[in-house]
């Protein structure tokens, strides 16, 4: 077996590979960029080599730097993980010429399946069904337009070299073809250095089923059953499960055998995944092959009891597959939910920031969290926004689903917008619970994106404001008591900075700006507490909290409450006949609150200030996230109509199109293609047409 391997990746997959290598007694070498100097994967490996700036094309995608790091540290093999160089045939070739084992398939196999058009041709020759489409090399626009008419609508434009949901657009009618074609080509060129595309008939109600295959150098090929990956947004998977619900044994056998034939057709070696679309009539069609380990491989591990990274290492070292097809079997059911730094209510826009607070679910042999970040780490604009993978197992699908619900309820992240609340909404949808899903499930059943990730109907900004007021008062009381204890005269009222007033109860006038994922409310809270009550924090014998709200507010104008801090970050408030339990993190600039699985951000305002209005100037279109301008479609003086595309900003593997919100004239364009923008930067201005 290898004595030392280099892991040419970062984040959770690098940590995942290091964990198995450690179990097998194999030393590991990490590589890291400037942005990852203190990253978890760097600390979990035995050695670490710096390879360049934060930008991936100057660090993790630099083949020569990776090879030099392996040679410098004496690593015998390189595990590429997934993403970055994992499906780069040139990298696999370079490893071979430098006498370093590439833990994956041959360069020829990667090239065969790296081109989606070539892959279609290979598997069709092996009698594996493919969708009607166009996969020729001629990329002339008129040829593609004519091919689209032949294929028929709706159709899917796919980047030939694409992956990870990038370089894909659904086109429902010919009017949108040219715009979508240009977008896919631009995105593909930027991400993969190749703007070639193919066209396929789009199946709107299909399920995304993939088969895990494994092959060794001795001619053995097996499949480790299927995964259902239909729960997607932006063509990227959100929740995966294994085995697929409502899968029959006969269909499993047919799809598994087809996947094995795909691997044999290219003399494959190592771990791979054959992805199929499964139509409602149970006819399946080849989509693509991923010549690497998949993000969702843990669900296969949990239902088979196998460590797929260990299989990779053994096969790469020349061993035969550990098991034959007949000795593999399915045990129970597993789900994987991907926890992303993103805002579901704003079209799943990627988010950045500091993980000020992170509390993971209770982990066991049935619940696992694969992550590469810790509390206090930064989610930057440079890499994929996935924070972690939550994986659960149960004796059957209902048991696994219950475990998923419990784990999502326990998972808390504050400081970065995330999709945990959305995952909870998604996993409790009645149709999802029945396994009745397809690739358009999120689009069809969660079309009102503005409602995603928000508080429940029972939760209002007023509840959150009251939580904030109680938290501030309790923290103020703690500070007062600490000052008293340190004072030379602890009983002097002049040395205590509380709300005491002569012949009056203590009173605080507080004003907050309370924001959920899309909406912001401003409210004023007047809190009155008797000095005696302050010694007991805030209890039901106090004067309570008076909330100054509009007359139509659906709660009482004066509320009595009892509150106590049970730790630095956890607070309980008894509000009338309700019990509010919340996690609070004070960053100094804002107060972050996690209540009933939903995140809120609270800005403390000075009631005496007239500068609390943070609304932006009319006509300004600002950057929704930090990123790079990849296209500018207008110039100063252009007249545009509502909905027209103006500019495209790319960050964290996602393009965000800035559209005109009104009919107007472009007053100014402040960035050009290739320039970096920060969140909130003014990109353009529009003067409304009267």
Catalytic residue list = 292
Q: How far apart are CA 645 and CA 657, in angstroms?
A: 7
Residues 481, 487: Cα–Cα separation, whole Å: 10
Peptide bond just before 154 cis, omega within 30 deg = yes
Candidates 72, 120, 116, 112; CA nearest to 92 is 112
Residue 379 near residue 39, CB atoms below 8 Å: no
- Burial (0-12, 13-18, 19+ Cβ within 10 Å), 378: middle
Angular region, 296: left φ>0, alpha ψ -120 to 50, beta rest: alpha
**Residue in the block written with tokens 């899309």:** 518
DSSP assignment of 361-397: PPPSSSEEEEES--TT-EE-SSS--EEEEEEEEESSH
Residue spans of beta strands (DSSP E) within 298-361: 333-340, 342-343, 349-350, 353-354, 357-359
The two three-digit tokens of residue 254, written as one number: 């047919």
Q: Quick one: angle between helices 11-23 and 308-316, nearest 10?
A: 70
> SS in 3 state form for 141-194?
HHHHHHHHHHHCCCEEEEECCCCCCCCEEEECCHHHHHHHHHHHHHHHHHHHCC
**Cα(487)–Cα(492) distance, integer angstroms:** 9
In degrees, to the nearest 5, what angle opens at C-alpha 415 toward C-alphas 410 and 421?
40
What DSSP letter does each residue of 583-648 carry, written as one string?
EEEE-SS-EEEEETTEEEEEEEE-TT-S----PPPTTEEE-SSSEEEEEE---TT-EE-TT-EEEE
SS3 content of the chain, % helix, strand, coil (to 5): 30, 30, 40
Q: How far is CA 449 from the centre of its chain?
A: 16
Smallest Cα–Cα separation from 437: which of 233, 256, 608, 291?
233
**What is the DSSP track for 466-526?**
HHHHHHHHHHHHHHHHHHHHHSSSTT-GGG--SS-BTTB-EEEEEEEEEE-SS-EEEEEEE
- Tokens encoding 47: 């050695």
CA-CA distance, 445 to 238, in Å (whole number)?
Answer: 15
CB contact set of 249 (below 8 Å; sequence gap of 6+): none
Judged by DSSP in three states, 359 sits in strand
For residue 243, say if its preceding peptide bond is cis, omega within 30 degrees of 0: yes
Give dist(CA 110, CA 115) in Å, integer.
Answer: 9
The helix/strand/coil state of 580 is strand
In 3D, which of 152, 217, 163 has the Cα closest to residue 193?
163
Ramachandran class of 568: left when φ > 0, alpha when ψ lies in -120 to 50, beta otherwise: alpha
């Amino acid at each position: 077996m290898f004595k030392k391997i280099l892991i040419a990746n970062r984040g959770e997959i690098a940590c995942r590979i290091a964990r198995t290598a450690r179990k097998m007694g194999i030393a590991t070498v990490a590589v890291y960029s400037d942005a990852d100097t203190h990253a978890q994967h760097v600390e979990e490996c035995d050695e670490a080599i710096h390879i360049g700036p934060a930008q991936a094309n100057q660090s993790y995608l630099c083949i020569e730097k990776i090879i030099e790091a392996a040679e410098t540290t004496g690593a015998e093999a390189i595990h590429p993980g997934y993403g970055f160089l994992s499906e780069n045939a040139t990298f696999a070739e370079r490893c071979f010429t430098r006498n370093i084992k590439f833990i994956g398939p041959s360069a020829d196999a990667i090239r065969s399946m790296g081109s989606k058009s070539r892959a279609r041709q290979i598997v069709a020759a092996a009698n594996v069904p493919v969708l009607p489409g166009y996969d020729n090399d001629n990329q002339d626009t008129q040829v593609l337009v004519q091919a689209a008419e032949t294929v028929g609508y709706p159709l899917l434009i796919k980047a030939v070299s694409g992956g990870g949901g990038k370089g894909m657009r659904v086109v429902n009618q010919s009017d949108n073809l040219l715009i979508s074609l240009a977008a896919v080509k631009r995105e593909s060129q930027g991400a993969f250095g190749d703007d070639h595309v193919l066209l396929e008939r789009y199946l709107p109600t299909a399920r995304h089923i993939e088969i895990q295959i494994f092959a060794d150098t001795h001619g053995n090929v097996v499949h480790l059953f299927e995964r259902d990956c239909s729960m997607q947004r932006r063509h990227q998977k959100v929740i995966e499960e294994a085995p697929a619900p409502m899968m029959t044994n006969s269909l499993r056998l047919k799809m598994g055998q087809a996947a094995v034939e795909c691997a044999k057709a290219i003399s494959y070696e190592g771990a791979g995944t054959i992805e199929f679309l499964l139509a409602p009539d149970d006819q399946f069609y080849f989509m693509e092959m991923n010549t690497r380990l998949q993000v969702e491989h843990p669900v296969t591990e949990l239902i088979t009891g196998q460590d797929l990274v260990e299989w990779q290492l053994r096969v790469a070292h020349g061993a035969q597959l550990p098991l034959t097809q007949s000795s593999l079997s399915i045990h129970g059911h597993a789900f994987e939910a991907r926890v992303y730094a993103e805002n579901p209510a704003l079209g799943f826009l990627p988010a950045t920031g500091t993980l000020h607070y992170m509390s993971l679910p209770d982990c066991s042999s049935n619940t696992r969290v694969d992550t590469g970040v810790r509390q206090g780490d930064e989610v930057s604009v440079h890499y994929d926004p996935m924070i972690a993978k939550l994986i659960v197992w149960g004796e059957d699908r209902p048991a696994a689903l219950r475990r998923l619900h419990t784990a999502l309820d326990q998972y808390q992240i504050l400081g970065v917008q995330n999709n945990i609340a959305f995952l909870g909404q998604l996993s409790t949808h009645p149709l999802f619970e029945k396994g009745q899903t397809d690739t358009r499930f999120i689009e069809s059943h969660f079309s009102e994106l503005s409602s995603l990730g928000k508080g429940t109907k029972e939760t209002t900004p007023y509840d959150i404001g009251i939580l904030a007021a109680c938290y501030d008062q309790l923290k103020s009381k703690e500070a007062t008591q600490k000052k008293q204890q340190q004072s030379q005269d602890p009983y002097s009222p002049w040395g205590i900075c509380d709300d005491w007033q002569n012949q009056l109860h203590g009173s605080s006038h507080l004003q907050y700006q309370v924001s959920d994922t899309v909406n912001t409310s401003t409210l004023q809270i007047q809190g009155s507490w008797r000095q005696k009550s302050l010694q007991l924090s805030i209890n039901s014998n106090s004067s309570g909290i008076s909330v100054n709200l509009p007359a139509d507010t659906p709660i009482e104008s004066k509320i009595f409450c009892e509150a106590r801090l049970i730790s630095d970050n956890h607070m309980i408030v008894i509000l009338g006949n309700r019990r509010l339990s919340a996690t609070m993190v004070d960053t100094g600039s804002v107060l972050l609150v996690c209540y009933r699985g939903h995140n809120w951000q609270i800005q403390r305002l000075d009631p005496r200030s007239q500068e609390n209005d943070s609304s932006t100037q009319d006509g300004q279109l600002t950057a929704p996230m930090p990123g790079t301008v990849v296209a500018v479609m207008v110039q100063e003086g252009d007249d545009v109509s509502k909905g027209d595309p103006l500019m495209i900003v790319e960050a964290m593997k996602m393009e965000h199109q800035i559209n005109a919100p009104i009919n107007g004239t472009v007053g100014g364009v402040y960035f050009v293609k290739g320039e970096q923008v920060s969140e909130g930067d003014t990109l353009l201005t529009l003067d409304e047409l009267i």
